[in-house]
Every structure is written in C-alpha cells, then in structure tokens.
Amino acid sequence: MLTRLDHLVILVHDLELARADYESLGFTVTPGGEHADGLTHNALVPFEDGSYLELVSFLDPDDPTDNFWGWRGFLPHEGLIDHCAASDDLDSDTGRLESLGFSVDGPDDGGRRLPDGGEIRWRNARIRQGGRLLPFLIEDLTPRKLRVPGGAAAGHPNGATGVSRLEISAPDVTQAVSPLSALADTTSDVDTPVRLGACVLSPVAMEMGDLKGPGPSAVELVGAEPGGSRKLDPVLAHGASIRLRSSSG
C-alpha cells in the first residue's frame, strides 16, 4: 500500500548554491549523489517524520536529452515541481490504480550513486493522469535508510520536523478530490482532508498563467520550536513556496 508522502522535488539550477541557501534558512542539507541515468544529481533535507525535500539539478542543463520524468520541461524555472508517495508493494499499488482506471507508466528501475561510491536502488512508477496532480510512486530495493539518512541529518536548526500539508494546484478543486482519494485509498470530499500518512494533500485552484500546470505548489512544514508561522524567503528557497509552522502554532 501507499504508506506516506516520501519526498518533494525542488528543481534548482545550481545545486551547491541551493545547498548553501537552504542551510542559511536553517536546514541541514545532506549530499545525495548522482542519479543512475547520469542526468541529475541531488541533495537531501530529511525530516524526522521520514519525508524529505530533494534539491535536484541537471548535470548539464543544456543537454537536450530528456529524462523519464520530463523535469527538463520546467527549465529555466526553479521551484517545487514534483512529489512522491512511498509504496511497500509497487506491483500491488499500480495494479490497484490500473483497476480503478488510471494509466500507469512502470514500474521501472531507478538508482543513485552515493558520494561515498555506494549505490542504492529502487523501483518507481508514474501515474499519467492530470500532469503532476498525482505523485509518482517509489519502492526501495535497497534499505531506505541508505537513500534517506536519519539521525543528525534529520535535525534542523530551524526546528522543522516534517511535512504537514502539501498544496496541489488543480484546474478544478472539487474534481481533484476524487483521484487524490483513490490514490490514498480513502473516501473524501471537499470538506474532508485527504491524508497520505501524516501529510494532508490539499487541492487548491490554479492561478492564472501558471506555467507549471497541475501539481504541487506550496508546502507547510511543522516545527518543533514555538514561534507561530512564517513563510521562508522564496529567493533562498529557489522558487519553492515553503511555510514553517510551529507545532503549537
């Protein structure tokens, strides 16, 4: 089954600059490595709830070769471009979604070379309907702790502990509830939140002129320290709309 929100993908132009900027925002950023397709590399911001932010950049932004997810289509923009749900049985989950009428690409093999030379492997699948209204899916083949570090890597000076809410832009908010509910295997309506693990998936109306189309548009992180709610500087967040809310706020 789909157990939780696995991670959010934030496209950046310069990975080292983005890493420094996210550290200035109070995050602990861990080098991730180079993806097996040789097109992208990343850095991670893991949280105590098991989710993480993936800062991803193309190794050669001028290379016309596309990759499976089509992320290159978002260039030259930066920001939140994709989201991923964790599966503990990808064959079963894709089969269930196909039985509900969804078209699914995959499962396909994926992987990443770690900075220490080690390799991790996974399988993933993409649901084709609605652009990025629905997440892609991932199932680890190597231990997840190798892909997503915990411990000190998940502790952040700004107090962030996890993703509490993800806004997903949709052309029609009411119609977006049904596929999101089917994804999470729940029954919901516009007045009932759709949850993927601890995260609320909240469809919102697309803004006029939104070039990215349907998909994740803003994220709320919950923090361990009091202090109300604040939006992080979008310049330092490289175009991502991120709000940090205290657990008591």
Give the model confidence (pLDDT) of 11-20 as tens digits: 999 999 999 9
Cα(100)–Cα(6) distance, integer angstroms: 23
The domain that holds 80 is classified in CATH as: 3.10.180.10
Cα(84)–Cα(168) distance, integer angstroms: 13
Cα(33)–Cα(117) distance, integer angstroms: 9
Cα(220)–Cα(160) distance, integer angstroms: 10
How much of the chain, in percent, has pLDDT values that exceed 70?
92
Mean pLDDT of the 140-160 span = 95
Domain match, 23 and 129 both: yes
Give the model confidence (pLDDT) of 36-69 as tens digits: 888 899 999 999 999 999 999 998 877 766 665 6
Domain match, 130 and 220 both: no
Nearest CA to 98 among 43, 68, 58, 137? Answer: 137
Domain match, 115 and 71 both: yes
Q: How confident is the model at residue 190 (pLDDT cuts 50, 70, 90)?
A: low
Domain match, 102 and 76 both: yes
Cα(135)–Cα(186) distance, integer angstroms: 16
User: One-letter amino acid identity for 12?
Assistant: V
- Which range marks the domain in which residue 205 is found? 158-246
Domain match, 40 and 77 both: yes
Domain match, 70 and 136 both: yes
pTM confidence score: 0.93
Number of domains in the chain: 2
